[in-house]
């Protein structure tokens, strides 16, 4: 999932869901506040989610569709990347 334009004064946030690198759906005009304060931060996948979930990564900016697709296609998955660009 990617999130953009959240933490603003208006309900102009957008969330996009990608499965296996392909865009599956978009929700627009959302108002949501995110925080990096660990005591207040939560990640919610969805109510009633059933299935497998792997290779969670959190970025400090919204990834483009091309970046999401490129990450999905990595031969060793995200585990093959060096942490923090090292």
Assigned token pair, 50: 């059933």
Confidence at residue 2, expressed as pLDDT on a 0 to 100 scale: 87
| Beta carbons of 32 and 26 less than 8 angstroms apart | no
Residues 12-71: tens digit of each pLDDT: 888 898 988 999 999 888 777 776 777 877 766 666 777 777 777 878 888 999 999 999
- Average pLDDT for 68-84: 78
Alpha-carbon dihedral of residues 45, 47, 53, 59, nearest 10 degrees? Answer: 0
Closest listed residue to residue 54, CA positions, set 42, 69, 72: 72
- Residue boundaries of the structural domains of the chain: 2-76
What pLDDT is stored for residue 79 in this prediction? Answer: 72
pTM: 0.68
């Amino acid at each position: 999932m990617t999130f953009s334009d959240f933490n603003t004064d208006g309900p102009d946030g957008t969330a996009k869901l990608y499965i296996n690198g392909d865009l599956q759906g978009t929700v627009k005009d959302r108002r949501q506040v995110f925080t990096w304060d660990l005591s207040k931060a939560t990640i919610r996948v969805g109510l009633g989610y059933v299935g497998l979930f792997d290779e969670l990564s959190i970025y400090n900016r919204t990834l483009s569709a091309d970046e999401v697709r490129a990450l999905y296609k990595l031969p060793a998955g995200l585990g093959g990347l060096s942490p923090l660009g090292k």
